């Protein structure tokens, strides 16, 4: 029987610790007198860890030792993400009208007021990953949340359009930084064997905020006015700051103390091919559905109530899709999620272009949620798994950078297409694009997973 290097063989008849039963021996247990009297050292946590059987990277832990997902840190990060994203939907749907009513701005200027938030988010998607590497994730997050609170309160004193645009830009920067840090931190908190499931539930915070954010804005403005809307936004960002401070420790590499803005530090080329699919989907949904659905429904005689219910069913579909497909992706691989959601996405656009009734609109709302929600979270999982853990921040920043840019360009591109060929034809064309993206996914990722499975 072989023993560890540097140890002595026991005398015949004595018990030797078996490698089949790893575990610490009792401290101070001496060997029989027939051998030299030595004392076994006490087992330390590190020695115990070294004796545990190792598993191959990327394999799932046995079901009996499946690690918990809903830990204190996971809940705090998810609730913080809900508060952070809530501001986006709370104010994005009301700022254009506020600029027109408060300052008499033109539609073009109102669009700049609305879009400056997204532009600020794009800027910090670039600089947040190197900031996390230099000063740490928690410090970057706390600074972003403090500025988030201050920028929300600054709406109350923004007395001109230029000041309003500046406030929107700064707040967008805080949103981009806070969302990037939280989306990065959660990947280190989620157990690797439950990464897709955990990412899906984490991303559900964005889905919930997309449903209740606009409704909250409409309710507050109609009953109390815009000033109380900004007070509400300030209170929500205070909630995000509390969650950030409650996270006493975030798993992360040791900060370098040096801020370096390099291509490798802000853009992960390994994550880009998958992020392109998400960006295209976000552009078509954000530009084609979010921006023009209300007018499209009105033009076909569909009432505002059905349009509101559309987004509630979208949120419900997202919850169902992530609950079902997230764990499946963890257990059976990426393809089991990717192909169904891409095909369902294409079908959603085709139905929206042809089924011009309230029932058709509601069916499309649920189907869009069933596909769009799992696509965003599931493809984020694929993107971060393409890089080592210390590059999770860069991959996450790359993923959402491309998504933000595409979402900002979506209304322009779909609007131009809609003016040229009509929105129905533009939606039909969007379905064709999603069908092509299904083939693109196979080319950049699906064929590789299939070959590994074989």
pLDDT, tens only, 171-213: 999 999 999 899 888 888 888 888 878 887 887 888 788 778 8
Q: What local confidence, expressed as pLDDT, does residue 449 receive?
A: 66
Determine, yes or no, domain membership for 84.
yes
Same domain, 81 and 211: yes
Higher-pLDDT residue of 250, 189: 189
Q: What local confidence, expressed as pLDDT, does residue 289 receive?
A: 81
Higher-pLDDT residue of 177, 28: 177
Same domain, 77 and 194: yes
Q: What local confidence, expressed as pLDDT, does residue 348 receive?
A: 94
Mean pLDDT of 57-69: 59
Residue 244's contacts (CB-CB under 8 Å, 6 or more residues apart) are 80, 138, 141, 142, 145, 178
Same domain, 196 and 228: yes
Indicate the pLDDT class of residue 452, thresholds 50, 70 and 90: low
Higher-pLDDT residue of 222, 170: 170
Tokens 């949340």, located at residue: 145
Same domain, 212 and 294: no
Higher-pLDDT residue of 40, 219: 219
Residue 85 has pLDDT above 70, yes or no: yes
Same domain, 223 and 279: no
CATH of the domain at 397: 1.20.1250.20
| pLDDT-above-70 percentage for the chain | 83
Same domain, 240 and 281: no
Tell which of 185, 220, 249 closes a domain: 249
Out of 37-41, 130-134, 174-178, which region has the weakest mean confidence (pLDDT)? 37-41
Same domain, 99 and 163: yes
Residue 24 has pLDDT above 90, yes or no: no
- Helices (H), ranges, 286-357: 293-299, 304-332, 335-354
Q: What local confidence, expressed as pLDDT, does residue 291 receive?
A: 67
- Nearest Cα residue to 195 out of 8, 443, 377, 410: 377
For residue 252, give the H/E element and its range.
none
Indicate the pLDDT class of residue 304, thresholds 50, 70 and 90: confident
Same domain, 292 and 361: yes
Same domain, 223 and 293: no
Q: What local confidence, expressed as pLDDT, does residue 1 receive?
A: 42
Mean pLDDT of 332-337: 86
pLDDT, tens only, 355-394: 999 999 999 999 998 998 889 888 988 888 888 877 887 8
Q: What local confidence, expressed as pLDDT, does residue 36 receive?
A: 42
Asked if residues 397 and 128 have their Cβ atoms less than 8 Å apart, the reply is yes
Determine, yes or no, domain membership for 50.
no
3-state secondary structure of 77: helix
Residue 306 has pLDDT above 70, yes or no: yes
Residue 248 has pLDDT above 80, yes or no: no
Q: What local confidence, expressed as pLDDT, does residue 107 receive?
A: 67
Determine, yes or no, domain membership for 39.
no
Q: What local confidence, expressed as pLDDT, does residue 62 receive?
A: 47
Determine, yes or no, domain membership for 11.
no
Mean pLDDT of 95-121: 82
Same domain, 268 and 244: no
Determine, yes or no, domain membership for 15.
no
Tell which of 216, 249, 282 closes a domain: 249
Q: What local confidence, expressed as pLDDT, does residue 450 receive?
A: 55
Same domain, 204 and 281: no
Q: What local confidence, expressed as pLDDT, does residue 358 receive?
A: 92
Indicate the pLDDT class of residue 90, thresholds 50, 70 and 90: confident
Mean pLDDT of 45-73: 56
- Nearest Cα residue to 31 out of 4, 50, 7: 7
Mean pLDDT of 131-136: 85
Predicted TM-score (pTM) of the model is 0.64
Structural domain total, the chain: 2
Higher-pLDDT residue of 89, 425: 425
Region of 7 on the Ramachandran plot (φ > 0 left; ψ -120 to 50 alpha; else beta): beta
- Nearest Cα residue to 428 out of 374, 356, 373: 356
Domain that holds residue 323: 264-454
Higher-pLDDT residue of 270, 411: 270
Q: What local confidence, expressed as pLDDT, does residue 18 receive?
A: 41
Residue 43 has pLDDT above 50, yes or no: no
Q: DSSP string spanning 338-388?
A: HHHHHHHHHHHHHHHHH--SHHHHHHHHHHHHHHHHHHHHHHHHHHHTTS-
Tell which of 196, 216, 249 closes a domain: 249
Residue 407 has pLDDT above 70, yes or no: yes
Determine, yes or no, domain membership for 166.
yes
Burial (CB count <10 Å: 0-12, 13-18, 19+), residue 328: middle
Same domain, 191 and 282: no
Indicate the pLDDT class of residue 2, thresholds 50, 70 and 90: very low
Whole-number average pLDDT of the chain: 80
Higher-pLDDT residue of 330, 233: 233
pLDDT, tens only, 278-298: 999 988 887 678 767 877 888
């Amino acid at each position: 029987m072989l023993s560890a290097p540097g140890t002595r063989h026991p005398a015949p008849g004595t018990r030797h610790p078996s490698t089949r039963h790893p575990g610490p021996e009792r401290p101070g247990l001496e060997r029989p007198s027939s051998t030299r009297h030595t004392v076994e050292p006490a087992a330390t946590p590190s020695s115990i860890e070294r004796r545990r059987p190792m598993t191959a990277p990327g394999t799932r832990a046995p079901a009996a030792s499946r690690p918990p997902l809903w830990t204190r840190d996971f809940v705090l990060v998810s609730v913080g993400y809900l508060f952070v994203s809530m501001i986006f939907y709370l104010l994005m749907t009301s700022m254009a009208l506020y600029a027109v009513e408060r300052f008499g701005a033109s539609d073009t200027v109102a669009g700049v007021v609305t879009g400056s938030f997204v532009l600020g988010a794009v800027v910090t998607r670039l600089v947040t990953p190197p900031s996390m590497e230099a000063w740490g994730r928690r410090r970057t997050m706390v600074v972003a949340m403090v500025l988030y609170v201050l920028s929300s309160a600054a709406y109350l004193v923004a007395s001109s359009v230029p000041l309003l645009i500046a406030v929107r830009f700064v707040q967008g920067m805080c949103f981009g930084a806070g969302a990037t840090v939280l989306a990065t931190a959660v990947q280190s908190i989620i157990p690797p064997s439950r990464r897709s499931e955990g990412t899906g539930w984490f991303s559900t915070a964005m889905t919930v905020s997309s449903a209740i954010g606009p409704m909250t804005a409409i309710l507050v403005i109609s009953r109390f006015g815009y000033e109380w809307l900004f007070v509400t936004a300030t209170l929500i960002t205070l909630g995000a700051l509390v969650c950030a401070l409650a996270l006493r420790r975030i798993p992360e590499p040791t900060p370098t103390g040096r801020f370096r803005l390099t291509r490798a530090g802000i853009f992960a080329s390994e994550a880009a091919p998958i992020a392109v699919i998400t960006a295209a989907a976000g552009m078509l949904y954000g530009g084609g559905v979010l921006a023009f659905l209300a007018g499209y429904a009105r033009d076909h005689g569909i009432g505002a109530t059905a349009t509101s219910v559309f987004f509630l069913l979208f949120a419900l579909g997202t919850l169902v899709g992530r609950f079902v497909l997230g764990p499946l992706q963890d257990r059976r691989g990426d393809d089991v999620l990717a192909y169904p959601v891409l095909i369902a996405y294409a079908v959603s656009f085709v139905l929206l272009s042809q089924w011009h009734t309230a029932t058709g609109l509601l069916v499309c709302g649920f189907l869009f949620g069933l596909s769009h929600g799992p696509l965003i979270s599931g493809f984020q999982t694929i993107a971060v798994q393409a890089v080592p853990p210390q590059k999770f921040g860069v991959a996450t920043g790359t993923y959402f950078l491309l998504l933000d840019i595409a979402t900002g360009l979506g209304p322009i591109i779909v609007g131009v297409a809609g003016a040229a060929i009509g929105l129905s034809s533009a939606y039909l064309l969007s379905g064709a694009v999603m069908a092509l993206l299904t083939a693109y996914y196979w080319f950049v990722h699906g064929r590789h997973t299939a070959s590994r499975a074989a």
